[in-house]
Amino acid sequence: MIRNKEAASWVEEMTALCKPDKVVWIDGSEQERQRLTEEALGTCELLPLDEQKLPGCVYHRTAENDVARTEHLTFICCRNEEDAGPTNNWMDPQEAYSKVGAMFDGSMRGRTMYVVPFIMGTAGSPFRKIGIELTDSIYVVLNMRIMTRMGDIAMNDLGENEEFTKCLHSKGELDINRRYILHFPEDNTIWSYGSGYGGNVLLGKKCLSLRIASYMGLHEGWMAEHMLIVGIQSPDGEITYIAAAFPSACGKTNLAMLIPPDSMPGYKVWTVGDDIAWIRIGPDGRLWAVNPEAGFFGVAPGTSMKTNPNAMLTASRNSIFTNVLLGSDGTVWWEGMGVEPPAEGIDWRGNPWTPQSGEKGSNPNARFTAPASQCPVISPEWENPQGVPLSAILFGGRRAKLAPLVYESFDWSHGTFVGATMASETTAAATGAVGVVRRDPMAMLPFCGYNMSKYFRHWLDMGPKITNPPKIFNVNWFKKDDDGKYLWPGYGDNLRALDWVIRRCKGTAQAQETPIGFVPTKDSLNLDGLDISDDAIEKLLEIDPDAWVEELGSMQKFFDQFGYDLPEEFMEQQQELNKRLGRWKR
Ligand code: GTP
Ligand code: SPV
Ligand code: MN
């Protein structure tokens, strides 16, 4: 018996549209997981892995043209085009429903439609959102089982008259020319057709928890952000919570579960979330952040027992591996895993592979899906419905030049400007060129469900309401020397920058005031036990005023597209920065 009438009639309507042979309601039980896994192994939608070495794990390969988010096929479908803004693709809702409705028509013939009720957040929380995803992919069902709280728990949590996000997904023909990821914020609806890749099809993640949720947050007075959440325990036992927005494949998962270097004894890191933060103002005037997800959909390449042992351990059982190398011994392998590859295997394209074949074994955007509860350093607070209080927000990206290792903004408005003027080199997480610097405000460029100028306005408007605001910083682990080598060791040593951040929050760390913000003095960073040259540290902390003046030009170009909608404060921030740079040069 489905108590929510809207849910019952919508499922009926979508069944009539997609015409599946069978409709199966997902309950989230262990028996169900086993049954679906067996079925998918039978059809080779999933491939088995060695049960001894990787208990409860399975392998999946997506189509070769379907290995990353497709931003050019992702649309915001709202009535007025201006409401989508200049940085989003827009389609008229009526046109979208009819054009892609024709694709969904009969798309599930010969297939089963799975009805997947899910919660983003924890059951019963006043801040959680409920969705129901209809999908014809067992891979999607099993991923949603890890990434969300799903099945009966969600159906029971959904009240009789309560709203839920209507999520419809069909793999369709997996033809890139018939692929659409559509968001209807005004209807609380998502339609995804023609893909089988993570961010395009796990509709609770980027589609609901960022694009739709950012729109909800605008209207309900909170924020949905592409941020990790981490607690840093200092040697005195105090835990400071930090949220950080980095673009896709720029180090959120790694920072969220870093292992302190040996030379920093007494520090401990607690993971709250690795990709998405929902942030509200608490009764104490601070910002409180929750992780709406239940799992990690992490980048595999570059993840090793050296760089991120906590991720390796999290994904050592009950996990799904996508587009990595499948060893003929039933193990998985990827570039940068830090172990010898198997003597032979099948690569991410499905071709026979050996270490000598000269081809990449895994796709650069190959992923693991793993339950957050298995993370060795998962925070005891990670499921607290109130979330954790933020002392600092970090922005950051991949910048070979320009941005120093870390700097602090002057205040909330300036910090918002720092976030809005972020830029980063593109990665394999989305299709298109890799390594090109693009502006990516708050790491939300691909994920903001409405006009980004209004999103900036929302950030600025939150400021005065947060009586006890977090400090806002910018970080860059990816600065390179003239030979193209990283200047900073990164990973666990990033704790040294976080340690400075925390001491700035407490008012105990030295800094130099520069035109862009407060930059650490050389001796204010804890570099104990780190093998790094003075020269490298100098380069990491250097501010080149000429390069920043050039950067102002690039910011201006990006902002120009918003016309008069751009918050006035940003014009002022640019002018002030320009003036400070002029004074600094003289
Ligand atoms: P999404 O899941 O796409 O949102 O990505 P993410 O931001 O969680 O990125 P992730 O932590 O998975 O890192 C992506 C890639 O960057 C991996 O290959 C990492 O090994 C690499 N990486 C992460 N942190 C660092 C760092 O501090 N320095 C360097 N050089 N590389 C890093
Ligand atoms: C990202 O691309 O930022 C991800 C992976 O976290 S996906 O779920 O595909 O969006
Ligand atoms: Mn992400």
Q: Would you call 311 helix, strand, or coil by DSSP?
A: helix
Summarised one tens digit per residue, pLDDT across range 233-284 is: 999 999 999 999 999 999 999 999 999 999 999 999 999 999 999 999 999 9
Q: How far is the CA of 25 from the centre of ligand 3 (A)?
A: 29
* pTM for this prediction: 0.98
Please report the DSSP string for 473-510 in residue order.
EEE-S--B-TTS-BSS--GGGGHHHHHHHHHHHTT-S-
Q: CB neighbours (10 Å) of residue 12?
A: 11
User: H or E stretch including 520?
Assistant: strand 517-520
- The three-state DSSP-derived secondary structure of 197-224 is CHHHHCCHHHHHHHHHHHHHHHHHCCEE
Summarised one tens digit per residue, pLDDT across range 293-333 is: 999 999 999 999 999 999 999 999 999 999 999 999 999 99
- Please state, in angstroms and rounded to a whole number, the distance separating the CA atoms of residues 123 and 582: 54
- Please state, in angstroms and rounded to a whole number, the distance separating the CA atoms of residues 205 and 199: 7
Strand boundaries in 66-164, DSSP class E: 74-76, 89-90, 112-120, 129-135, 149-150
Report the length, in residues, of the chain. 586
Which protein residues are within 6 Å of ligand 2, measured from CB? 69, 198-199, 205-206, 248, 275, 297, 429
Residue type, 73: L
Summarised one tens digit per residue, pLDDT across range 274-303 is: 999 999 999 999 999 999 999 999 999 999
> Please, which pLDDT band fits residue 586 given cuts at 50, 70 and 90?
low
Q: How far is the CA of 428 from the centre of ligand 3 (A)?
A: 12
User: H or E stretch including 244?
Assistant: strand 239-245
Atom of ligand 1 nearest to the CA of 299: 12
- Please state, in angstroms and rounded to a whole number, the distance separating the CA atoms of residues 254 and 382: 17
- pLDDT at position 161 is 86
Cα distances (angstroms) measured from residue 394 to each of 359, 473, 528, 557: 37, 5, 23, 24
Q: Would you call 62 helix, strand, or coil by DSSP?
A: coil
User: At 561, phi and psi to the nearest 5?
Assistant: -65, -20
Ligand closest to CA 69:
2
Please report the DSSP string for 103-119 in residue order.
HHTTTTTTSEEEEEEEE
Q: For the chain, report the end-to-end CA distance as a whole number of angstroms.
A: 75
Contact 532, 420 (CB under 8 A): no
Q: How far is the CA of 568 from the centre of ligand 3 (A)?
A: 30
Domain architecture of the chain: domains with CATH = 5-43+69-221 (3.40.449.10), 225-293+380-583 (3.90.228.20), 295-374 (2.170.8.10)
